[in-house]
Structure 1
Amino acid sequence: MNIVFMGTPEFAVPSLKKLIEEFGITAVFTQPDRPKGRGKKIAMSPVKEEAIKHGIPVYQPLKIKNDIESIENLKKINPDFIIVVAFGQILPKEVLDIPKYGCINLHASLLPKYRGAAPINWAIINGETESGNTTMLMDVGLDTGDMLLKSKYEINENMTYGEFYDILKQDGAELLIQTIKKILKNEIIPEKQDHSKSTYAPMLNKEIAKINWALKNKEIKNLIRGLNPWPVAYTQYNGDIMKIYEAEAIDANINIKKIPGQILSVGKKGIEVATGEGILLIKKIQFPGGKPLSVEEYIRGNIIKDGVILT
């Protein structure tokens, strides 16, 4: 098999490993090295690191659609498949037309729902109880191509983005292998997406992470789950940023009228906060300069006062 792999983040690494093991990879395309972390040291993508371990040639076009040299290299390689997992660039039609069997993309949602950059996060933020992976034949649109195979998983009410990410990155690798084998045996009939049922999962930013206490307690809990471990939902306690990693929605009536965001009580179980509907019990937090701690651990050496309004 002559396969080119295109991917960038850690999510794509299990797929690359599995493809190397099953078929071998001729070349890898990934994003250019970029500054990373507080020191802003130039770092390779996780996919590049894995490719180098196996001695696979790596190409890093800034924008492949404008990179004549990269496109010519692809034509010379003449791959049977181009496999794309979170590459982070749109492929032009000229590239899509190169491989014999097409460009196959792994997308971490049940298409046509959650097209876009952050499907796992938004599925959890929106309180979905089920999501999964889809393989598809790529076209010039954003996650609009014909679907090939799907795998579904339940999302329980306490599952975080990080936990579901770890499940889907491993599952996706297996789904890609199944997809390739079935294509080679002519056992898949591509299925058109129903574009009228599509939803979009935009890229995350830190503004999304700021908690609006006027929302329902379950909506805030889902936001916290969907942003753990990054970028992490946050609020302000007396002017200090308080990141929130874990919380529980309590369906309790608040008899006395309280302002959304007001701290009702603080104890070993957590911090009870009034919301637009119900109470949110905050269980794990982090303040600037500190590490994430359970509320029980934090209040052993610090004070969080009742009545303060989180903003």
Structure 2
Amino acid sequence: MKIVFMGTPELAATILDTLIQSEHEILAVVTQPDKPKGRGKQVQYPPVKELALEHQIPVYQPNKAKDEDFIKKLEEINPECIVVAAYGKILPKTIIDFPKYGCINVHASLLPKYRGAAPIQWTIINGEEKTGITIMYMDVGIDTGDMIMKEEVIIEPKETGGSLHDKLAVCGGRLLIKALKEIEHGTAVREKQKDEESTYVKMLDKSLGHIDFSNSAAEIERLIRGLNPWPSAYTFLDGKTLKIWEASVEQGLSEKAGNTGKPGEILEVTKDSIIVQTGNGRLVLHEVQLEGKKRMTVDAFIRGFDLQAGKILS
């Protein structure tokens, strides 16, 4: 099948890599424009563009997918199918309708639940036990098209946004190849989504990571895992940002279990943990990063920082 691939981040690059290694022909890749990143504001290519250039695949980066010149270019390329994975822009009906086999989307959740831009992280934050990949036909709605096939992925107890991302990327590439075969052979079965079962999740931003210690320890622990590695969960210690990379909910009773404090209060500092009061239960910090410092385990952090019980994380 002759394909145009549309995607931007690492998830899409992994799926594109699987597609490149398959029997299908990638005519072109479409990704978002290059953007400056980091302190030096150096322009960096999207991961999908980097991979495409390595394989000498033509790359297009329109500011808007509905630009007339871009649509004309797609028509000239004339793909049999357009595959979309985390492209990041809404496609107009003109593009969705013209390929012979349609526009196929690789979505990182089990639709119809978790439509939207950040399903991987939200499944962890919300405490789901499983998620997966859905291959679907695109329509003008956001993740509302008919489904072709799904594959479940279990969310492990210590799963992070990063580890789940990697699992789903591999699963997405594998399932896409299977779906394209059925589409090409005319055996793909369309299944309409039940809109009443859908959930729309918002995009991630850095403010989401600001920990509210009035929430339960279990909720905070899931937030920390879901936002690892980006945008990360954080609080403030003595006016400095303290990122929390790993934590757990206290299961047993500490020696000072009789002491209770207000949410955010450090109740106990041991040689390898910091125990913090939450709105319900206690959160045990295991890996942190103070503003201007490297990420480190709590035992290393305590050796270089005089931290006492009674401090408030805000």
Q: CA deviation at 1:251?
A: 4.0
Q: CA deviation at 1:196?
A: 0.4
Q: Which amino acid aligns with 1:146?
A: D
Q: Distance in 1 between matches of 2:225 and 2:102?
A: 36
Which digits, 9 at most, give the CA deviation of each residue in 1:95-120, with x for residues without a partner? 00111010000010001111111100
| Structure 1: stretches of 5+ with no match in the other structure | none
Q: Distance in 2 between matches of 1:92 and 1:214?
A: 43
Q: Distance in 1 between matches of 2:247 and 2:291?
A: 19
Indicate if the aligned counterparts of 1:117 and 1:203 stay in contact, CA closer than 8 A.
yes
Which digits, 9 at most, give the CA deviation of each residue in 1:258-303, with x for residues without a partner? 1011101111331000111111001000011111100011112221
- Quote the residue 1:63 is aligned against: 64
Q: CA deviation at 1:256?
A: 3.8
Which digits, 9 at most, give the CA deviation of each residue in 1:160-184, with x for residues without a partner? 1111011111111111101101112
Indicate if the aligned counterparts of 2:3 and 2:27 stay in contact, CA closer than 8 A.
yes
Q: Indicate the SS of the match to 2:101.
A: coil
Identity of aligned residues (%): 51
Q: Distance in 2 between matches of 1:204 and 1:20?
A: 30
Q: Which amino acid aligns with 2:149?
A: L
Indicate if the aligned counterparts of 1:252 and 1:278 stay in contact, CA closer than 8 A.
no
Q: Which amino acid aligns with 2:118?
A: A
> Which segment is superposed worse, 136-145 or 301-310?
301-310
Indicate if the aligned counterparts of 1:251 and 1:278 stay in contact, CA closer than 8 A.
no
Q: Indicate the SS of the match to 2:13.
A: helix
Q: Distance in 1 between matches of 2:188 and 2:279?
A: 48
Q: Indicate the SS of the match to 1:26.
A: strand
Aligned residues: 310
Indicate if the aligned counterparts of 2:260 and 2:277 stay in contact, CA closer than 8 A.
no
- Quote the residue 1:126 is aligned against: 126
**TM-score after normalising by structure 1:** 0.97
- Quote the residue 1:37 is aligned against: 38
**Structure 1: 4+ residue segments shifted above 6 A:** none
Indicate if the aligned counterparts of 2:259 and 2:267 stay in contact, CA closer than 8 A.
no
Q: Which amino acid aligns with 2:246?
A: E
Q: CA deviation at 1:257?
A: 3.9
Which digits, 9 at most, give the CA deviation of each residue in 1:25-55, with x for residues without a partner? 0011111111111111111111111111111
Q: 1:234 and 2:229 equivalent? A: no
- 2:284 aligned residue (266, 281, 286): 281
Q: Indicate the SS of the match to 1:272.
A: strand
Q: CA deviation at 1:310?
A: 0.8
Distance 1:256 1:306, change over 3 A: closer
Which digits, 9 at most, give the CA deviation of each residue in 1:108-150, with x for residues without a partner? 0001111111100100001111001111000000011111111
- Quote the residue 1:292 is aligned against: 295
Q: Indicate the SS of the match to 2:16.
A: helix
Q: Distance in 2 between matches of 1:117 and 1:262?
A: 34
Q: Distance in 1 between matches of 2:267 and 2:54?
A: 54
- Quote the residue 1:204 is aligned against: 204
Indicate if the aligned counterparts of 1:217 and 1:278 stay in contact, CA closer than 8 A.
yes
Indicate if the aligned counterparts of 1:74 and 1:98 stay in contact, CA closer than 8 A.
no
Q: Distance in 2 between matches of 1:159 and 1:16?
A: 24
Q: Distance in 2 between matches of 1:180 and 1:24?
A: 12
**TM-score after normalising by structure 2:** 0.96
Q: Which amino acid aligns with 1:74?
A: L
Q: Distance in 1 between matches of 2:273 and 2:153?
A: 30
Q: Indicate the SS of the match to 2:25.
A: coil
Q: Distance in 2 between matches of 1:206 and 1:76?
A: 41
Q: Which amino acid aligns with 1:164?
A: L
Q: 1:100 and 2:104 equivalent? A: no
Instruction: Please report the RMSD computed on the Cα atoms of aligned residues, expressed in angstroms.
Output: 1.1
Q: Indicate the SS of the match to 1:150.
A: strand
Q: 1:157 and 2:172 equivalent? A: no
Q: Which amino acid aligns with 2:6?
A: M
Which aligned pairs between 1:85-96 and structure 2 lie closer than 5 A?
85-96=85-96
